[in-house]
C-alpha cells in the first residue's frame, strides 16, 4: 500500500499538516465565531484550496530540490499565518498588503511586538521540523512531474475553491463586496485566499489614479458643499490671530475622564481643565489601520482614512489641501513635535506634502535610557525639551504635539507610577490607567510652562484622543473595570475619545452633540476666522448646522438618535435594539461618505481642484 502511494506523500502530508494546523490556529488565535455547522464547515475547508495551489509550485522545480521547495512553501505559509496572529493580537484585525510592506515601522514598535510573543508560538513552526525528518525517509519521495499529477493537484484545489466560495456565498451573499470586514473574509475565504484577494484589491486601487479625471472631483465637491455648515457668528474668528496648539493624546479613551482607581483620579488635570474649556463628551475617533497617523490625517484634511493600510504610507505624494497649507496663507507657521523616529508612519515625507514648515522629531531631543520608554521619549521630558523650540517659533503658529508614553503595552517605570493599577487578570488593562495618569501629569506641566512663558494667554489649545487604547481582545477584563457587559452597542460607545478645546477668555461648557475627528478641520478654521474651501467631510462643531454623524471605517455609524453597528440598529441613548430599517438612512449616508472620500485619495482627485472650481 505504501509503494502504491509513496509518490504523492510529500504533497499529501504537507497539505494535510498545513490544513489542520491552520484550522487549529483559526480556533485558538483568532476570534472567528460560527453559529451553525455550515459556517464551521466553511471554516474547516477554506485553507485547503490555497494550500494545494501553493504546493503545486513544486512542479516548477527539479526533482532533486522538490522536497526542499515544499518545505520553503510550508514555511512561508506558516510565517504568513504567524504574522497575522501577531497583528491580530495587537489590533484585533488581519493584516493587509499595504501594512505588510510597512517594514520601516517594525523596529519602532518593538515593545508592542514583544508583548504579543508567547513561548508556545514555537508550535507555529514545529510541524516544519517534523516534515523535514519525514521527508528524509526513503518512503517519502518527491511527486513526479506528470500531467496527471499536476492536473490532480490543481483540479482538486480548484474544486475545493469553488465549493468553498459557493458555500460562503450562500451563507453570506455578496461576500466579496464586504472588503471592509476582514474578519468575515478570513472566516469564509481563509487566511491565504484572503491575502490573494487583498492583493487583487491593491492592484485595483493602484489603477484608480491613472483612470481618474476632473469630473470625479466635481461630484465630491458638490456633496461636501451641500453638507457643509455655516459658521456660528458667535464663534467665527473668536481665536483669530491666536496661536494654535493641538495635542494628540496617545490611546486615550473617553471612559478614563472622571474615573478613579481606588479613590484616585486617573486624569485629575484634564478633569479640571475641562471645567474651563469646551468639552465634547460624544466625540469619536475614526481611525483604521493607520491608527495615530489616521487621526492626524482626519484632523488636518477632514477626509476619511483608507479601509486598508495608512494614507501616510500608501499615498504620501497626493495633492492635499489641509489645515497647515490653508493657515499658512493667513500668516501661520506650522510645526509638528514628536519624540520618535521621523520616518515612523512615513511622517517625514507626508508632512512635507501637506505643508508643515518644520518637524521636530527625535534628532531634536536628548533621548537616553532614563527618559525613553515604548516608542521613544517619555511625555514629561518631551514637553520640557520642546519648550525651547516653541518659544522660537514665529507667531502666530500652529504647533501639533504627539504624545507617546500611553502606548500599548503601557509600560512604565516605577518612579512614574502615580496611581494604582487595576486588579484584573489582564496586564494590559491593569497598566493602562497608570500611563494615562502619567500623560495627564505631563500635559499639566506643559500647560504651566506655556503660562510661565506668556504663550498660554495667546493660544487656543486643543487636546484629543487619537484612537482606542484597549482593543476588543481585552473586553473580558475591561468589563470588570466598567462593571457592564461590552456588547456591540457598548463597543461603539467605547470608541469615544476626549476632545477639549480651550479658548482664552471663554468659560467651560460640556457639549454632548455627536461629533468626530473629521469635524476638527472646519472647526479650527472657523475659530481662526478662515472660511472653509475645498473638500472636507466634517462640519464645524460650534455651528448651529453641525451634522451629528460619526462614520467609522468598519461602516458603523453614530447619529444623534441612532447607532448602527454589526448589521444591527440601536437607539443611541437607551441601547434598545430597533428594526434594521430604522438605520437605513444613516447606513447609506455612511457608505456614501466613505466611498467618496476613498475616491478622493485613490484617484488623487484634489489635483483637479482648480479645474473643479471653474466647472
Cis peptide before 409 (omega within 30 of 0): yes
109, pLDDT greater than 80: no
Residues that are catalytic: 292
For residues 95 and 455, the model is more confident at: 455
Q: Which of 128, 238, 231 is nearest to 522 (CA)?
A: 231
Query: What is the arithmetic mean of pLDDT over 346-357?
Result: 93
Separation of CA 465 from chain center: 13
Pairing assessment for the beta strands 358-360 and 333-338 based on DSSP bridges: parallel
pLDDT, mean of residues 48-57: 87
**Across 344-353, average pLDDT:** 90
Q: What is the pLDDT of residues 157-210, one digit of tens each?
A: 888 888 888 888 887 776 766 655 677 888 888 888 888 888 887 777 777 777
CB 247 within 8 A of CB 461: yes
pLDDT value, residue 86:
84
Chain mean pLDDT for the chain: 88
388 confidence band (pLDDT: 50, 70, 90): very high
- Check residue 3 and give its pLDDT: 43
- Predicted pLDDT at 222: 93
pLDDT at 592: 96
Which residues pair with residue 244 across a beta bridge? 398, 460
Give 294's Cβ-side CA count (13 Å radius): 22
**Cell reading at 62:** 527539479
Where is average pLDDT lowest: 16-25, 268-277, 360-369, 498-507? 16-25
Beta strands in 278-388 (DSSP E): 278-280, 283-284, 333-338, 358-360, 372-373, 376-377
Domains in the chain (CATH in brackets) are 2-208 (no CATH), 214-613 (3.40.720.10)
- In 3D space, the residue among 49, 33, 306 whose CA is nearest the CA of residue 191 turns out to be 49
CA distance 437 to 416: 9
Q: In the block, which residue shows the cell 526542499?
A: 68
Is residue 264 predicted with pLDDT exceeding 60? yes
**Residue 566 near residue 538 (C-beta atoms within 8 A):** no
The enclosing H or E element of 563 equals strand 562-565
What is the number of other CB atoms lying within 10 angstroms of the CB of residue 289?
24
- Tell me which DSSP letter residue 419 carries: S
Residue 107 CA: distances (Å) to CA of 36, 83, 252, 368: 42, 15, 23, 17
Q: Is the peptide bond before 396 cis (omega within 30 degrees of 0)?
A: yes
d(CA 564, CA 549): 11
What are the start-end ranges of the H helices in 30-65? 37-55
User: Residue 549 in contact with residue 557, Cβ under 8 Å?
Assistant: yes
Amino acid at each position: 500500500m505504501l509503494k502504491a502511494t509513496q509518490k504523492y506523500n510529500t504533497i499529501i502530508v504537507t497539505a494535510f499538516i498545513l490544513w489542520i494546523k491552520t484550522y487549529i490556529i483559526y480556533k485558538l488565535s483568532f476570534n472567528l465565531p460560527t453559529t451553525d455547522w455550515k459556517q464551521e464547515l466553511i471554516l474547516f475547508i477554506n485553507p485547503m484550496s490555497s494550500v494545494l495551489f501553493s504546493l503545486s509550485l513544486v512542479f516548477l522545480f527539479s526533482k532533486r530540490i522538490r522536497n526542499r521547495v515544499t518545505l520553503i512553501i510550508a514555511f512561508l505559509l506558516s510565517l504568513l499565518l504567524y504574522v497575522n496572529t501577531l497583528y491580530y493580537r495587537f489590533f484585533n484585525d488581519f493584516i493587509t498588503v499595504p501594512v505588510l510592506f510597512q517594514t520601516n515601522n517594525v523596529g519602532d514598535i518593538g515593545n508592542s511586538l514583544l508583548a504579543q510573543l508567547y513561548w508556545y508560538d514555537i508550535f507555529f513552526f514545529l510541524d516544519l521540523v517534523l516534515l523535514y525528518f519525514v521527508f528524509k525517509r526513503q518512503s517519502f519521495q518527491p511527486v513526479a512531474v506528470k500531467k496527471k499529477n499536476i492536473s490532480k493537484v490543481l483540479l482538486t484545489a480548484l474544486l475545493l475553491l469553488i465549493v468553498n466560495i459557493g458555500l460562503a456565498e450562500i451563507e453570506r451573499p455578496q461576500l466579496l463586496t464586504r472588503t471592509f470586514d476582514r474578519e468575515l473574509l478570513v472566516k469564509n475565504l481563509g487566511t491565504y485566499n484572503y491575502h490573494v484577494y487583498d492583493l487583487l484589491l491593491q492592484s485595483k486601487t493602484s489603477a484608480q489614479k491613472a483612470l481618474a479625471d476632473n469630473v470625479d472631483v466635481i461630484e465630491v465637491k458638490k456633496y461636501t458643499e451641500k453638507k457643509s455648515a455655516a459658521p456660528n457668528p458667535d464663534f467665527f474668528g473668536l481665536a483669530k490671530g491666536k496661536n494654535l496648539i493641538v495635542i494628540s493624546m496617545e490611546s486615550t479613551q473617553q471612559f478614563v475622564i472622571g474615573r478613579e482607581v481606588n479613590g484616585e483620579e486617573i486624569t485629575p488635570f484634564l478633569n479640571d481643565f475641562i471645567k474651563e474649556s469646551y468639552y465634547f463628551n460624544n466625540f469619536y475617533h475614526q481611525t483604521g489601520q493607520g491608527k495615530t497617523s489616521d487621526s492626524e490625517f482626519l484632523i488636518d484634511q477632514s477626509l476619511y482614512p483608507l479601509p486598508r493600510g495608512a494614507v501616510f504610507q500608501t499615498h504620501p505624494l497626493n495633492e492635499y489641501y489641509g489645515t497647515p497649507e490653508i493657515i499658512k496663507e493667513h500668516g501661520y507657521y506650522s510645526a509638528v513635535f514628536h519624540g520618535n523616529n521621523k520616518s515612523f508612519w512615513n511622517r517625514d515625507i507626508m508632512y512635507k506634502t501637506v505643508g508643515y514648515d518644520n518637524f521636530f522629531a527625535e534628532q531634536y531631543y536628548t533621548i537616553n535610557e532614563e527618559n525613553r520608554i515604548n516608542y521613544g521619549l517619555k511625555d514629561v521630558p518631551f514637553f520640557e525639551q520642546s519648550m525651547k523650540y516653541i518659544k522660537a517659533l514665529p507667531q502666530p503658529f500652529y504647533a501639533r504635539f504627539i504624545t507617546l508614553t500611553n502606548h500599548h503595552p503601557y509600560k512604565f517605570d516605577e518612579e512614574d507610577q502615580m496611581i494604582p493599577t487595576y486588579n484584573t487578570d489582564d496586564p494590559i488593562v491593569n497598566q493602562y490607567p497608570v500611563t494615562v495618569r502619567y500623560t495627564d501629569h505631563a500635559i499639566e506641566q506643559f500647560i504651566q510652562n506655556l503660562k510661565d512663558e506668556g504663550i498660554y494667554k495667546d493660544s487656543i489649545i486643543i487636546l484629543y484622543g487619537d484612537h482606542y487604547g484597549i482593543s476588543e481582545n481585552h473586553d473580558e477584563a475591561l468589563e470588570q473595570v466598567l462593571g457592564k457587559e461590552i456588547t456591540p452597542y457598548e463597543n461603539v460607545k467605547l470608541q469615544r475619545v476626549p476632545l477639549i478645546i480651550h479658548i482664552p477668555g471663554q468659560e467651560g461648557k460640556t457639549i454632548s452633540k455627536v461629533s468626530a475627528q473629521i469635524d476638527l478641520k472646519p472647526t479650527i478654521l472657523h475659530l481662526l476666522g478662515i472660511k472653509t474651501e475645498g473638500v472636507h467631510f466634517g462640519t464645524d462643531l460650534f455651528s448651529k448646522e453641525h451634522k451629528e454623524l460619526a462614520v467609522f471605517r468598519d461602516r458603523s455609524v453614530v447619529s444623534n438618535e441612532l447607532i448602527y453597528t454589526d448589521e444591527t440598529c440601536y437607539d443611541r441613548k437607551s441601547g434598545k435594539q430597533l428594526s434594521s430599517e430604522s438605520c437605513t438612512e444613516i447606513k447609506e449616508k455612511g457608505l456614501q461618505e466613505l466611498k467618496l472620500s476613498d475616491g478622493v485619495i485613490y484617484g488623487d482627485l484634489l489635483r483637479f481642484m482648480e479645474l473643479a472650481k471653474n466647472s
